[in-house]
Copies of this chain bind each other. A is one copy, B any other.
Amino acid sequence: NQQDSTSKSLSERKWHEIISLRGYGQVRYNRLLETNDQLRCEQCDKSWGDGGLFIRRLRLVFYGWVNERVYFYVQPDFASSSGSTLNYLQLRDAYVDLGIDKENVFRVRVGQSKVPYGFENAQSSQIRLSIDRADATNSAFVNERDLGVFFYWTPKIVQERFEKINALKLKGTGNYGMMGLGFFNGQGANKADLNKKQHVAGRFTYPFLINNSQFIETGLQAYSGEFTMPSDLLSNGVKTNFLKTYRDERVGASLTVYPQPIGIQAEYNIGKGPQFNTQTDSIEVRNLKGGYITLNAKANIGEDLFYPYVKYHYYDGGKKFEKDARSYLVKEFESGIEWQPNKYLELVVAYTISDRRFEDFVLKNNHQKGNLLRIQAQFNF
């Protein structure tokens, strides 16, 4: 694609040969068979326990190779609220990739983009099987993204494997580097930076090819930085340290046996970060840990694709980008199936059994258990 569109002399290309546009949308309904409407997950899905149909995502992607070594990617999302009103357009990705070499083995990325931390975080929501990402790894960064400078190293053979995994519809991450290294603000996507210190994150992942057919990917990642609690996330009365600034660091491992036809996807991470302490009414640096394991399969029935799965995840730690660095203890089991009648449509139905303790200065002693059916229709264009 890159080769095609840049083979013409660049000055001959029309705008629509340089810039491409695509998009996708997701609509959800979470209220069927719901047993407890106080069971919520702010980060996962704002429509848990509340309301009816919900536009979870509506994204446009403007992207293209402006020349052999320069690629841009601008992805806004329409499902962004501002105050009590929904569906404003707000940035998710906005970056430029500069190839150091002609094959783009070494790239520098500048802008807002996913932080190289974790497999499920890198995997697009358009691709992901389970309805939401796991709290344990997704609590690392809000919307998985931040603003910074990122270096990616992806040898040609690894580039080809990432592409092959994609082409086989095995639900990979695409090319976020065999090795990725990022220096970024650390306050999360679309948030003003509040301290002069940069976060650093690094990730190494390798897609092994076994018997020339089975892909298995293993990865390691870590990040470190200082997170400053923004004042609009602090309840009146909650205690913080003087600078409202806290150590924030993690290390984790990932394993993906791609579903050919049976697969496993698992990650685990430990670390420390700001977390609300109900005993002291204060935000403190505390240890965190958690992960998930998914068993899945891929089945072609006629022209249709089916992906059944079960997932269990666990998290014990804080969420720094929620009210008072809300404290979490999560145990959740989900069983579901994704159906793709064609490449434009997807339907996921999942049954979730959840046990969530989430507490902040206002919401003390808040332990919620319950079950619900979750339905998501997705459309790609």
In the complex the two chains form, is A15's CB within 8 Å of B23's CB?
no
The stretch of A67-75, A212-220, A250-258, A306-314 in contact with B is A67-75
What secondary structure prevails in chain A residues at the interface with B?
A: strand
* Residue interface mask A363-381, B partner, CB < 8 A = 1: 0000000000000010111
A47 contact set on B, CB distance < 8 A: 192-193
**Bound-state Cα–Cα, A110 to B83, Å:** 25
In the complex the two chains form, is A191's CB within 8 Å of B344's CB?
no
Q: Is A52 an interface residue when CB atoms closer than 8 A count as contact?
A: yes
Q: Which residue of B lies closest to A88 (CB)?
A: B90
In the complex the two chains form, is B72's CB within 8 Å of A193's CB?
no
Chain B's nearest CB lies how many Å from the CB of A168?
17
Number of copies: 3
A83 contact set on B, CB distance < 8 A: 82-83, 232
In the complex the two chains form, is B78's CB within 8 Å of A78's CB?
no
In the complex the two chains form, is A23's CB within 8 Å of B344's CB?
no
Chain B's nearest CB lies how many Å from the CB of A18?
7
**Bound-state Cα–Cα, A94 to B80, Å:** 14
A377 contact set on B, CB distance < 8 A: 110
Q: Give the size category of A's interface with B.
A: 35 or more
* Residue interface mask A20-33, B partner, CB < 8 A = 1: 11110101000100
In the complex the two chains form, is A53's CB within 8 Å of B193's CB?
yes
Ordered by A's residue number, 14 sampled pairs between the chains whose C-beta atoms are within 8 Å are A15-B20, A25-B74, A25-B96, A27-B110, A46-B192, A66-B380, A70-B379, A72-B379, A72-B381, A82-B82, A84-B192, A85-B190, A86-B91, A87-B90
Chain A to chain B: the 6 pairs with minimum beta-carbon distance, closest first: A51-B193, A87-B91, A52-B193, A89-B89, A87-B190, A52-B185
List 9 additional contacts besides A67-B342, A84-B192; criterion CB under 8 Å.
A18-B381, A25-B72, A46-B192, A50-B192, A51-B192, A55-B91, A60-B74, A70-B345, A87-B90
